[in-house]
Amino acid sequence: MWNWLKHAFAVESDAVAVPTAEQSSSIDLICHEIVRRGMTLPAQMFIESSAPLHYLGGQTLRVFEPFLGVLVDPSAVRNFAAFLERRGAVEYICRRLDEIQRRGGDLATAPRPNQSRSTSEDVPS
C-alpha cells in the first residue's frame, strides 16, 4: 500500500553524470573554446562555486537559448542545458576541462588553423 510513497522524495545519486553522445559533443565544443581562450581556471572556479545552482543554470540557458542560438548552434545549447540540469554534471565538466587542457596544453597561445605563424623568413631584411 505504501509503495507509491517509497520513492516520492528520491534524488539521483551524486555520482558523476555520463552524457549522451550529443551532449558529449556539445560539452566538448564548449570546453575546447574555454581552454582555447585560456579561461580554464576561472571557468572551473565559477562552475564549482555555482554547483548548488546547476539546475537553475540549465534553466537559465533554456531562457537565453534564442539569443545564444545566434552565436552557437541552438541544439548545442539545448544539449548543454539538459546535461547541466543533472546531478554530477558539474564534476564531469570540470574533469573534462582538465583533460582537454592537459591533452592540448594551453590552446589559447596555439595558432588557429587558418592563421599563419610569422617566421624570420617572412620578414624582409
DSSP letter at 86 equals S
In angstroms, how far is the first alpha carbon of the chain from the final one?
90
Question: Do 111 and 43 meet the contact criterion of CB atoms below 8 Å apart?
Answer: no
Please check whether residue 25 is in contact with residue 64, taking contact to mean a CB–CB distance below 8 angstroms.
no
pLDDT in tens, the chain (125 residues): 567 666 666 666 666 788 889 889 888 888 898 898 899 999 999 888 888 888 888 888 889 988 888 877 888 888 888 898 888 888 999 999 999 999 885 444 443 333 344 444 444 44
CA dihedral (42, 48, 52, 53) positive or negative: positive
Q: What is the pLDDT of residue 29?
A: 86
- pLDDT score, position 111: 38
3-state class of 92 per DSSP? helix
pLDDT for 121 equals: 44
